[in-house]
Structure 1
Amino acid sequence: MEVCYPYVAVALRTSENIPLIEVFDVNNPKKKKILYGNDSSTEFIDVAFSNDKACILAQSGEPDWFLYFWLWNKGKKLSVIKTSNNYGGEILQIAVNNYETSMVIISVIGSSILRVYRYVENTLKLVNQVRTEYRCACHTWVSKSRVIIGTENEKILVYENGEFISIIDHELTLNLSNSSPEQITNPIKINAIVPFSTGFAIGNGSGVISIFEKAEDSQGYYKKNHDEILETSSVTSIAVHVNKKGLLVTLKNRQVYYIQVYVDIEKNIDQGFEYLIQPFHNGSIIDMDTCIWKPIIVTCSSDKTIRIWNYQENFVEVVKHYEFDPVCLSLHPNGLFLLVGFHNSIKIMTILHNDLYEHWSANIIGCKQCIFSHGGQFFAIIHGSTIQIYNSWTYNIVWIVRGHSSKIRYIHWSKNDFQLFSSDVEGTICVWNIPDKKKENTLTLPGHQFTSAVFTPNNQYIYITESSGKIWKFDDKGLVCQIPQNIELNNLCISNSGNILIGSTNFGVIRIIYINKDNNQLIYYYDINVHSGKITKLAISNDDNLIFSCGDDGCLAITNLRENSTTIVNSNQKQKSKRYFSEEMLIKKPDLQAKTEIINKLTKKVNIMIQKKDEELENKKIENEEQMKALNENYEKDVRNCELVSERIKSELTENNIKYQNTLHDNKEKKEKEINDIKKNYK
């Protein structure tokens, strides 16, 4: 698959082994283009867009190894060329030179060869061909003329214009406790390589991402910035995030990580990594259950883990790893306890805030199904041809149900917990009365394989699915009717209203069936494609809004029944569908004591710090008051001095004014006298 927003190209193969490529527009998913090859290959091993998004290049597989070049929007095949040698050497990958915008340049890599093609004169022509002694695994363009190749023995080869210029020996020091013997003794294959603006990143078979930056020298080669050790699972692909600041990495165990790559080389700041969404199952999901009090779903998988999912806030609350595969599980209605069946034991676990704590177990070999009653006061366990019913609070056996002559296949509680349904592999179905500890009804239909059953909300009828596709409806007197289906249903659940049956299939389809409760007639049904494989378990939320399904594809799917329904939901139904879940959680006493001790220690530290800070503030206050007092005294002293100086200046000014006036008066008289004397003498 290749993504070049808004277009997505997917290489597929039909049931007749005809390879094709479908091109989708994510803004208009119904609009698509289908491209076909014309050789004898049964698959396309790689596909890529040209840098202008107008063309698609695809490499076919053996035995022909043709490289196709399409103008995909018009479905026009522009060129086809054989990329392998005459002996049919394997081709591994193609890469488009996105740095060259004036023409289309594409490289093809084989186990020990690199070929570069250019589209000129309406055909693909070979430009360069490089052979190497190393076994190549992946490659990419990092500039107009430079190609980086990752090998199977931890080497990174650098080629410029078809000439070898450098080799980077990429060796890792693995943690021996987390590494397999093969990883320790054998070189680690480089599985993926991707360029970004300041360098490139590689991912290898040990789950390590290495970031390389351009070296500050005249040659412009590269040096490693840092490594990110994700898991021991192999890296399958790397892509640059849309924000251009990080990488998206997928692993072989179905995990997806986000890694920051823009780090300061000089400061060597490592930004770390995180799950892009949530940690997923690495294997088929075997069993699943939900509860009433809490918005959680519990799943167990062939990857030997149990996971608790919060479907209201969309995150994984708990992941617990075990030495053996969990076979079945059941969640208590209050969401605080979990019943888990293994191949050689059955265990009850307390769901803590971040863990599962086992507090009861019994050695029961070969348990295929365990289930809590709807009220939570009982739980039932299949043990061969018998059913063991326990008290959930005392763990005492209430009743060992015997009556089947072959292995029991399926059990189910009635809504009021007064009845228990069971079916075996020989086609015998039984209904057991729990309070009276007796068999109410039994029916044997040889040759019929009943896969699932549900009681109606009023406990009056039982719907049973058969491997042939029929749905049987029984009451306490016998068969009421049959509801034929054109597909095989392997799981069945019913809404609380009783008029919606939900079934699942072995090929990933969920069927919603609406039934008229008055005349038992099928009103209509519709199918929803959810999973890519067999659906192993099906459940419905207590408010009838959500359908939970899990399958062999390792996916847990949540489908909104109201959004997919054509029926009208009135305001009263909407009001009833609004629920408030319990927020309580359990914690072990030692953990609580440890956390309490930590809280007390931290509280004491905080109190001591507050006391010290108060003392510092008080001392600072006293010191400031003393400083303010001294400053006030100095200020008052300065003010008094200034006042004295001012008075002295005023006094001097007054004296000077008087002296000036006297001097002026004397001078004036003197001048007048001189003038008079001059006048007299003149006359």
Structure 2
Amino acid sequence: MSSVLSQSDFIFGLRTAVRNNLCFLDEQTVVYPSGASCVSHNIVQRCQRFISVSEKSQGICALALSPSRRYLAVSERAEKASITVFDLHHEQGRKRKPLTAGETSVQEFVCMAFSPDSKYLIGQTGGPEWMLIFWFWEKNKVLATVKTTTSNNLVPQISFNPHNNMQLCVSGAGVLKLLRYSEGVLKQSSIAKMESDNLLCHAWTSEDRVLVGTDTGRLLVSESGDLRRELRVTCKGVGGHTDRQVKVKWIKETDANECVAPSRITAILSYSKGFLCTTGPGTVCLFEKTQKDSYRMSREILIPSDPCSLSCPAESQKIDTMCISPAEETLAISTDRGQLYSISLSSVLTNKVLEGKQHFEFLSQPFHSSSITGLSICIRKPLVATSSLDCSVRIWNYETKELELYKEFQEEAYSVALHPTGLFILVGFSDKLRLMNLVIDDIRSFKEFTLCGCRECAFSHGGHMFAAVNGNIIHVYSFITLENILNLKGHNGKVRSIEWSLDDSRLVSCGMDGAVYEWDTRTGKRQSESVLKPCSYTGVAFSSDYKTILAVGTDFTLKEIQDCQVLREVPADEVAHTTLAVSHSGCVIFTGTSSGTIRAIKYPLPTQREWTTHHAHCGPVTKMVITYDDQFLLTVSEDGCLLISKIIDKEGRGLKSNRQIVQTEEILVTKADLDDKKQHILDLKMRLEELHMENEYQLRLKDMNYKEKLKELSDTLTQEIESLKTTQKVMKTKLEKSEHENQENSAEVAMKYAKKLKALEVSYTSKLMVEHEKYQDLLQKHDRMQEEYEKQLKAAEESKTQALEELIQMYELKLQEKTQLLAQFQEETKQKFCEFSEMIKQAEEDEERKIHAIQIKYEEKLHLEKETHTNLKGKSGMMTQKLYSLQRQIDDRCADINKLKHEQQSLLGLVHSLESDIEDLKRQISGHKRTSQDKDNTISDLKKKTQNLEKLKFLLEFQLNDLQKQNEPQQADINKKRERIDQVGKKAFYMQW
């Protein structure tokens, strides 16, 4: 196993066709699938953490994030599909035991959802089963299953009621169901008749209300499972231009026959103030809650147009997924072209301009939306260039993890090569090869070459030459004069890969014809060659010392070639290598495979199958390259992703490089652009001076106006102060007068109430004496009553004691009887327990004997099957060898036949020429009645030659027919043996399974 391996560091790209492929973990972190993994991407710090799925996975189908934002469920497509739950609070995303459908054969789970308390998980399987499975996932226990649809209609979304762990909603093509889990069964609580509608999405807005979006633009409201009303969203065009306007109208009864908008509602998201939904390509509408049952559209958010996008407008993208951050500060979306956008909701809601349209921004970087075909780096800058079938060329910085520059063209880009200085780029398009400048903000073409469909191109290490492939010919150009200096011809099939030597004196190429050629770039001659026709090579590279050649192809091997001979071969199991890259230190070789994995193989090549596998992409790896300092491995794939991996040893340390690379920051700027910039700066300076003068004038005017207003305000306030002072004096006089009157009135009131108080005191004293006498009489009555009650209490206690003794005696007798019965029952229970234990033991022993017998029986069968499989495999190998030998004999016979055919054609040509000469002579004889004897002799000689040639022609035809007859039995024998080999291969394949 290699001591050097690659570790994922950063990836550019989004995996589409994954349900719910974007989730917020916190305010700064999102999770989305990319390549063969899920990526936790920090928007602020621009760093990523990779969550790896299982090695046997055939692809990710759907994601689901728990409401607590701690657990991430990932469904993986396989022969037996599974769902893996990751603990995101763990640093490495710790896995839980995978959830499966049990004994049911399921290949994929199309969608999933967590319960509000994150304890339960539901998963919807694909067709034809369409089973909904309800797990208590922490214990890996299936609680219930139910079939959601009987037809082959897609069910794109399932969800829990956010207020009830036991209630679910299922929506799809003609399906809208509410289910409730009760007593171990998922029971259908309601169903809406939706045969004519294809429901694409839904969202809960309250405990009993669900919003549903359709593919015809209808926004339906379901309450307790019944469709009650419709929120209609329409778009109108004005003056030939599409002006997006949203009309909201509540309808009491849903009418499926009414005219509806053609836009598809592909996503709905509920939040605290209302909900958001898509209303067509590139459009999200924000609805705010106004009353208990009504909403109004308050904002419209659009994907902005991209001036670099020429073929497909960016605003026409379909929105697949929407998600909102935990604090509802940020809205993020993903599109069907693999792009991520976001917008600050707080800024949208605080914007008072209701009619103004808000626009999304890229969440991180614009990604490729189709297969990446080309990859190249330069030595003077940390740049990497990629080309794609989405007609774009992009320049990335693998150190800062940013997109430096990109541009879209009218044609598909097949190949790309960066000049070593990083200032120029060579791009192969479907119609021509273009040499372009990388200026500060654009990619500009300055030379075009008429090479159609250039699939490979590369600059020399010195940058003074470049090579481009056109079919099976390699054209070498001078970068200085831009002239074609060499045409390397020799391949019979398309050239798939080329590479320059370090001193640029040699060029190695490989092609689909099974040939690997090493060329001398000074003379244009081949220095060495290795041809293996059954193999179609896909990648070739020099070793680190440039003495040997390494190549990979469709024969599932990695070959090392030197002096026209294959020195070593490393088999690749059942996965074909597609490309390769050799480290500059020479200690490791990286290969990409058709399954998207990256293998690290130590160098010199091992004799056995030893490598380290890294699951990187979800599609075949198309290109890979190692940076000049051996720190990063860059790979691209048909999945449209660019992966930056660190090259480390087993201790996690980076490789040491002896190369000292000096990087530059210079960029190209044309004189016209520089003049425009200067003129623009001058114009801005002049405009700034004008604005400064205008602002000063406006300030002086405002100062004058404010001074006048201040004077007017000061005069007004002075008058008000004087009037208030006068009012204050009047009020003070009134206050003094009222205080004097209050003092006189209070003296009179005090004398009056003093007299009343003295009269009341005398009256209450007499009343108190009367009440005291009444109290003495009541006290005597109380003493007499107390004596009587004490006598009655004593008599009651005596009667109570006697009754209690009688009850105790009675219950003691009953207790003795019950104790005897209990002892009797316990004895009977012990006897029955012993009997049942013996029966269970005997039953277990019988079952164990049966199981053991069955196990022995099937082990014998398995042993026989393995022996049969081994024999068949050996026979298959022998038949394959025979087939190869017969194929070589056929090739030899075919070569002999072709040689004889060529000889026959040459002789036939000679016969025709002689026949024409005879005709000429006959015409001369007929024109001259008198001929000499010499001419007669000449004619007779020519006739004899013609007869001899005809005899020779007949002999050659006879030999050709004889050879064809000899070849027919061999060809029939070969066909029979091929059929036999196919039958044996099929039997061996079935025996393996």
CA distance in 1, matches of 2:572, 2:169: 52
Contact 1:516–1:523 (8 Å) recurs in 2: no
Partner residue, 1:223: 296
Q: Which residue of 2 aligns with 1:456?
A: 543
Q: Which amino acid aligns with 1:77?
A: V
The 1:280/1:477 distance shift into structure 2, 3 A limit, reads closer
Quick one: distance in 1 between partners of 2:470 and 2:381? 30
Shift in Å, 1:117: 2.2
> Which of 226, 234, 248 does residue 318 from structure 2 map onto?
234
SS of the residue 1:594 aligns to: helix
1:106 equivalent to 2:129? Answer no
Cα distance, 1:223 vs structure 2: 1.0
* Structure 2 counterparts to residues 492-503 of structure 1, below 5 A: 492-503=580-591
Alignment partner of 1:60 out of 104, 119, 125: 125
The SS at the match of 2:488 is: strand
1:600 is displaced (CA, Å) by 1.2
Quick one: structure 1 residues 465 and 603, their matched pair in 2 at CA, closer, same or farther if it must change by over 3 Å?
same
**Inter-CA distance 569–259: structure 2 relative to 1 (3 Å threshold):** closer
Native 8 Å contact 2:299 2:357 kept in 1: yes
1:202 aligns with 2:277: yes
- Name the CA shift for 1:82/1:324 in 2 (closer, same or farther; >3 Å): same
The question of 1:93 aligning with 2:157 is answered yes
CA contact (8 A) 2:234 2:261 kept: no
Larger radius of gyration: 2
Contact 2:374 2:623 in 1 (8 A): yes
- C-alpha displacement of 1:339: 0.6
State yes or no: 1:396 paired with 2:480.
Answer: no
The equivalent position to 1:549 in structure 2, one of 635, 643, 649, is 635
Distance 1:165 1:291, change over 3 A: same
Identify the residue that residue 158 of structure 1 maps to in structure 2: 221
In 1, Cα distance between the equivalents of 2:148 and 2:511? 58
Which residue in 2 is equivalent to 1:138?
201
Aligned match of 2:99: 35
Q: What's the counterpart of residue 145 of structure 2?
A: 80
1:194: how far off?
Answer: 0.9
SS at structure 1 position matched to 2:422: coil
Distance 2:152 2:689 in 1: 77
Q: What amino acid does structure 2 have at the position aligned with 1:382?
A: V
When normalised by structure 2's length, the TM-score is: 0.57
Give the match for residue 512 of structure 1.
600
Distance 1:45 1:431, change over 3 A: closer
Give the secondary structure class of the aligned counterpart of 2:262.
coil
Match of 2:465 in 1: 378
Pick aligned residue for 1:213 from 272, 288, 311: 288
Q: Retained in 2: the 8 A contact 1:499–1:514?
A: yes
Unaligned runs of 5+ in 1: 180-184, 620-683
Q: Residue 679 of structure 2: which of 590, 597, 618 is its match?
A: 597
8 Å CA contact 2:191–2:226 kept in 1: the answer is no
- Contact 1:515/1:522, CA 8 A, preserved across alignment: no
Q: Does 348-357 or 596-605 show the bigger shift?
A: 596-605
Instruction: Tell me how far 1:359 sits from its aligned partner.
Output: 0.3
The one-letter code sitting in structure 2 at the alignment partner of 1:192 is: A
SS of structure 1 residue aligned to 2:171: strand
Aligned to 1:648: none
In structure 2, distance between residues paired with 1:336 and 1:174: 46
Q: Is the 2:78–2:108 Cα contact (8 Å) retained in structure 1? A: no
Alpha-carbon distance in 2 for matches of 1:110, 1:405:
53
Residue 190 of structure 1: how far off its partner (Å) = 0.6
Larger relative helix fraction: 2
- More deviation, 270-279/337-346: 270-279
C-alpha separation in 2, matches of 1:199 and 1:24: 31
Instruction: Please list the CA deviations of residues 46-65 of structure 1 after superposition, one character each: whole Å capped at 9, or x if unmatched.
Output: 21111011111223344444
Say if 1:545 and 1:577, in contact at 8 Å, map to a contact too: no
**1:302 aligned onto 2:389:** yes
> Which runs of structure 2 are paired with 1:266-665 in the superposition (5 Å)?
267-268=353-354, 272-476=359-563, 478-486=565-573, 487-516=575-604, 525-562=611-648, 565-566=650-651, 573=656, 580-607=662-689
Shift in alpha-carbon separation, 1:339–1:52, aligned structure 2, 3 A = same
Q: Is the 8 A contact 2:588 2:601 kept in 1?
A: yes
Instruction: Name the CA distance, whole Å, in 1 between partners of 2:563 and 2:485.
Output: 24
Amino acid at match of 1:505: T
Amino acid corresponding to residue 194 of structure 1 in structure 2 = L
CA distance in 2, matches of 1:70, 1:402: 64
Aligned to 1:115: 177
Pairwise CA distance, 1:375: 0.9
User: Cα offset for 1:354?
Assistant: 1.9
1:73 aligns to what SS in structure 2?
Answer: helix
Asked if structure 2 preserves the Cα contact closer than 8 Å seen for 1:515 and 1:523, the reply is no
Change (3 A) 1:452 1:113: closer
Q: Deviations over 1:308-337 (max 9, x none)?
A: 111121121222111111111111111111
1:204–1:235: 8 Å Cα contact kept in structure 2?
no
Q: What is the Cα deviation at residue 39 of structure 1?
A: 4.8
The 3 A distance-change label for structure 1 pair 522 and 498 is farther
* Offset of residue 569 of structure 1: 6.0
Higher relative contact order (CA 8 A, sep 6+): 2
Residue range with higher mean Cα deviation, 47-56 or 32-41: 32-41
Q: Specify whether residues 172 and 595 from structure 1 end up closer, same or farther in structure 2 by C-alpha distance, changes over 3 A only.
A: farther
Task: Answer yes or no: is the 8 Å Cα contact 1:416–1:459 preserved in 2.
Answer: no
Please give the alpha-carbon distance, in whole angstroms, between the structure 2 residues aligned to 1:529 and 1:357: 37
The residue aligned with 2:231 is 168
Verify the 8 A CA contact 1:233 1:252 in the aligned structure 2: yes
Matches of 2:595 and 2:154 in 1, distance apart?
34
Q: Which amino acid aligns with 1:550?
A: V
Measured in 1, the distance between the counterparts of 2:200 and 2:572 equals 49
> How many residues align structurally?
602
Change over 3 Å in CA distance of 1:617–1:25 after alignment to 2: closer
Report the Cα offset of residue 174 of structure 1: 7.0
When the two chains are superposed, the root-mean-square deviation of aligned CA atoms in Å is 3.2
Cα deviation digits, residues 583-610 of structure 1 (max 9, x gap): 1111233322222111111223445667
Alpha-carbon spacing, 1:331–1:220, altered in 2? closer, same or farther (3 Å)? same
SS in 2 for 1:382: strand
CA distance in 2, matches of 1:567, 1:265: 49
* Distance change in 2, residues 1:210/1:123 (3 Å): same
Counterparts of 2:283 and 2:664, CA distance in 1: 41
Q: 1:528 to 1:578 in 2, by over 3 A?
A: farther
**For 1:169 and 1:202, how far apart are their aligned partners in 2?**
12
Identity %: 29
**SS of residue matched to 2:683:** helix
Three-state SS of the structure 1 residue aligned to 2:504 is coil
SS at match of 1:190: coil
> Does the residue aligned with 1:593 lie in a helix, a strand or coil?
helix
Change (3 A) 1:471 1:610: same
1:78/1:515 CA distance change after superposition, 3 Å: same
Aligned residue for 2:112?
A: 47
In the alignment, the residues of structure 2 paired with residue 11 and residue 211 of structure 1 have an alpha-carbon distance, to the nearest angstrom, of 31
Q: In the TM superposition, what is the alpha-carbon distance from 1:178 to its structure 2 partner?
A: 9.3
Task: Looking at secondary structure, tell me which structure has more strand per residue.
Answer: 1
TM-score, structure 1 length as denominator? 0.81
CA distance in 1, matches of 2:332, 2:419: 38
Partner of 1:639: none
The 3-state SS of whatever aligns with 2:674 is helix
